[in-house]
Amino acid sequence: MDNKKLGYILLIIGLVIAGSIYVAKSKEDVLIRKIVNEQGSCFLEDGTCLHDDRDSTFYFIGWLFSAVIIALSFYLIFFDKSQKEIVKTLENQKHIQVEGEKFDILLKGLGEDEKTVLKAVKEQDGIEQHTLRLRTDLHKSKLSIILDGLEKKNLIARKEKGKTKQVFLKINI
């Protein structure tokens, strides 16, 4: 059940409880006034006062219970959005973590230079081959051989950009 709907249901329940307690207290007050008007005093024949004999614990507990239910209902109605945001953030973090784990598994099957190149391409997708050479500190011919191997493994794609080439990740990680 949606938290907002549950909040509205609890609000109705809290208001019904508060209303019931109010009606019960009003009826008791009317009864006491009637006895006082008939007898001219609030004291009974045994000497007890109707006002002192009254047990207000029931009303106090009822009002408190009603207030807690109403407060909970307001929380569910108005602060439900923040919980959805937290859940969404946690799901995004989990998705990022899973992607990172997939990438780490992929890297385990590659050589050290291939790992270095693939990590650099992942950090900056569409990196120019010249910039990649500077970032990985590999010789021009060695980088070209590694990129050829990664292309054959269908992990990257190179596209012409003027006199140089851009390197893109072909895998969706």
Q: Say what the pLDDT of residue 79 is.
A: 74
Angle at 95 between CA 94 and CA 98, to 5 degrees: 85
What pLDDT shows up at residue 172? 67
Q: Where are the domains of the chain?
A: 3-78, 109-169
DSSP the chain: --HHHHHHHHHHHHHHHHHHHHHHHHHHHHHHHHHHHHHSSSB-TTS-BHHHH---HHHHHHHHHHHHHHHHHHHHHHSHHHHHHHHHHHHHHHHHHHHHHHHHHHHHTS-HHHHHHHHHHHHSTTEEHHHHHHHHT--HHHHHHHHHHHHHTTSEEEEEETTEEEEEE-S--
pLDDT digits (tens, 9 = 90+) for 35-90: 888 888 877 777 778 777 677 788 889 999 999 999 999 888 887 666 677 778 88
For 109-169, CATH number?
1.10.10.10
Q: Which residue has better confidence, 64 or 171?
A: 64
What is the pTM for the complete model shown? 0.48
**How confident is the model at residue 81, as a pLDDT?**
64
Per residue in 103-146, pLDDT (tens digit) is 888 888 889 999 999 999 888 888 999 899 999 999 999 999 99
